[in-house]
């Protein structure tokens, strides 16, 4: 519990003037009805009102009015425990823009020494384009357009390094798309980690670097960029394919049958931009789409969350992986690189035969008539060093060494 009372609906009043941390109009919109509680993943795992959207808004009001000291540990804990998934927004009858409130909260709460050092380090890497170029993360896919540019592909900072095949797959699906070599970070990482003005500045700069409509394969980046550059300027990939009337071709098959494919939504794409029907329609065109309970809720990746709070991240993910396995799917499609990494790493850790693939990879494999790599349990001998005898011994492994390709 927060230890602070939230006002009942009928007693709701405007927050008194306070420290100027929050936009009062945003903070006042909450009527404390509690409709958002069942949608909140952190409330689901904690059953604690203080870890729900309503409880956190009560904490924000207490911070704003000075009823809580800025260094109160509950403020630090809850601003960090929240995934920022915005699942509380679509279910809110009062239209509370919780994502904006959370950004204002973290801007204040995570200033200076209070910002997690890991988040700070990642932001420093992402905002330095020369550093990304040095690492070969820009050059790898960049190319200049020979014709006037209508659409540009945004290369996500970490996606281009972790999953370079995603950008290649987009070029298979959209051969005319330009991939300008000069492009930096979109700033979503900064906006979600207490640097929202820097996040907006980076988005505006990227908007100048990418001509035409910006297409992105990262749901989180799409939502942030659209918030700064305008909804018409930015398309997430599935949305772009749907808007342009592109029809997927081919099929993804396994052992002579259509592959069974589930989805993991991107929270910001679903809850921020309300894009969720489009990727499902595209999957259904090339494979058997399998709806899985909870496929719309956060996977626990949530930007830097899986790195900053690994135990909570796994707690949130575990029932989802159980559900995918119970549904007997071959693949889980993702539309965001953070979700891709989260599912890939944790499916592998539990020795699951299910494979996480990005939507672009699935569609490109169908179009090219090539098989998608498929996961299977792969046990290999483990090599152990015997220090006393200075020799190497081979033994049966109890773990998974890697994915079969």
List of residues contacting ligand SF4 (CB under 6 A):
30-36, 39-42, 53-54, 56-57, 82-88, 92, 94, 96, 98
SS3 188: helix
User: In the complex with ligand SF4, which residue's Cβ is closer, 82 or 234?
Assistant: 82
Cα 114 from Cα 32, distance rounded (Å): 29
Under a CB-based contact definition with an 8 Å cutoff, are residues 50 and 74 in contact?
Answer: yes
User: In the complex with ligand SF4, which residue's Cβ is closer, 88 or 225?
Assistant: 88
Instruction: Give the nearest distance from C-beta 112 to ligand SF4 in angstroms.
Output: 23
The residue whose two tokens read 């988040």 is: 119
Instruction: Give the nearest distance from C-beta 379 to ligand SF4 in angstroms.
Output: 37
Instruction: Give the nearest distance from C-beta 283 to ligand SF4 in angstroms.
Output: 25
User: In the complex with ligand SF4, which residue's Cβ is closer, 87 or 343?
Assistant: 87
- In DSSP terms, 356 is beta-bridged to 332
User: In the complex with ligand SF4, which residue's Cβ is closer, 31 or 262?
Assistant: 31
Instruction: Give the nearest distance from C-beta 163 to ligand SF4 in angstroms.
Output: 25
Cα 175 from Cα 147, distance rounded (Å): 12
Cα 205 from Cα 111, distance rounded (Å): 23
Instruction: Give the nearest distance from C-beta 2 to ligand SF4 in angstroms.
Output: 13
How far apart, in Å, are the Cα atoms of 19 and each of 67, 76, 357?
A: 11, 17, 46
The pair of three-digit structure tokens given for residue 261, joined into one six-digit string: 């494919």
Contacts of 53 (CB under 8 A, 6+ apart): 36, 37, 40, 43, 88, 92, 96, 98
DSSP 224-251: HHHHHH-GGGEEEHHHHHHHTT----S-
Instruction: Give the nearest distance from C-beta 245 to ligand SF4 in angstroms.
Output: 34
Instruction: Give the nearest distance from C-beta 102 to ligand SF4 in angstroms.
Output: 6
Q: What is the dihedral of CA 252, 256, 262, 263, to 10 degrees?
A: -10
Cα 132 from Cα 323, distance rounded (Å): 37
How far apart, in Å, are the Cα atoms of 306 and each of 37, 94, 182, 321, 389?
A: 22, 30, 29, 15, 41
User: In the complex with ligand SF4, which residue's Cβ is closer, 191 or 372?
Assistant: 191
Instruction: Give the nearest distance from C-beta 261 to ligand SF4 in angstroms.
Output: 26
Give the residue among 192, 198, 391, 219 at the shortest CA–CA distance from 305.
Answer: 192
User: In the complex with ligand SF4, which residue's Cβ is closer, 33 or 367?
Assistant: 33
User: In the complex with ligand SF4, which residue's Cβ is closer, 100 or 251?
Assistant: 100
Interstrand relation of 213-216 and 234-236 (parallel, antiparallel or unpaired): parallel
User: In the complex with ligand SF4, which residue's Cβ is closer, 86 or 240?
Assistant: 86
Instruction: Give the nearest distance from C-beta 297 to ligand SF4 in angstroms.
Output: 9
Residue 112, exposed/middle/buried by CB under 10 A (0-12, 13-18, 19+)?
Answer: exposed
User: In the complex with ligand SF4, which residue's Cβ is closer, 275 or 354?
Assistant: 275
């Amino acid at each position: 519990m927060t230890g602070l009372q939230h006002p009942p609906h009928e007693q709701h009043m405007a927050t008194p003037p306070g420290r100027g941390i929050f936009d009062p109009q945003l903070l006042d919109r909450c009527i404390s009805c509690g409709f958002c509680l069942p949608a909140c993943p952190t409330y689901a795992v904690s059953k604690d009102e203080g870890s729900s959207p309503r409880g956190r808004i009560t904490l924000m009001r207490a911070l704003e009015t000075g009823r809580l000291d800025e260094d109160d540990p509950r403020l630090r804990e809850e601003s960090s425990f929240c995934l920022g998934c915005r699942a509380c927004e679509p279910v809110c009858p009062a239209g509370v823009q919780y994502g904006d409130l959370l950004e204002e909260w973290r801007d204040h709460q995570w200033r200076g020494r209070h910002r997690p050092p890991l988040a700070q380090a990642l932001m420093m890497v992402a905002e330095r384009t020369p550093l990304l170029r040095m690492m070969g993360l820009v050059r790898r896919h960049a190319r200049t357009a020979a014709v006037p540019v209508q659409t540009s592909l945004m290369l996500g900072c970490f996606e281009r390094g972790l999953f370079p095949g995603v950008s290649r797959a987009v070029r298979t699906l959209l051969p005319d798309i330009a991939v300008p070599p000069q492009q930096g970070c979109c700033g979503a990482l900064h906006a979600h980690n207490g640097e929202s003005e820097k996040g907006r500045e980076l988005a505006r700069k990227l908007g100048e670097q990418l001509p035409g409509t910006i297409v992105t394969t990262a749901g989180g980046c799409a939502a942030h960029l659209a918030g700064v550059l305008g909804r018409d300027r930015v398309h997430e990939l599935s949305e772009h394919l749907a808007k342009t009337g592109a029809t997927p071709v081919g099929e993804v098959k396994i052992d002579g049958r259509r592959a069974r494919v589930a989805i993991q939504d991107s929270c910001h794409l679903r809850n921020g931009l309300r894009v969720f029907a489009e990727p499902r329609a595209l999957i259904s065109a090339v494979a058997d789409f399998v709806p899985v309970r909870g496929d719309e809720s956060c996977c626990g990746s949530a930007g830097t969350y899986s790195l900053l709070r690994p135990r909570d991240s796994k707690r949130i993910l575990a029932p989802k992986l159980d559900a995918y396995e119970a549904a007997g799917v071959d693949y889980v499609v993702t539309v965001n690189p953070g979700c891709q990494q989260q599912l890939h790493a944790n499916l592998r850790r539990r020795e699951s035969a299910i494979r996480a693939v990005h939507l672009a990879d699935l569609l490109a494999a169908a179009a090219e008539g090539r098989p998608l790599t498929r996961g299977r349990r792969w046990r290999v001998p483990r090599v152990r060093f015997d220090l006393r005898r200075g020799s190497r011994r081979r033994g049966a492994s109890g773990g998974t060494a890697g994915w079969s390709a």
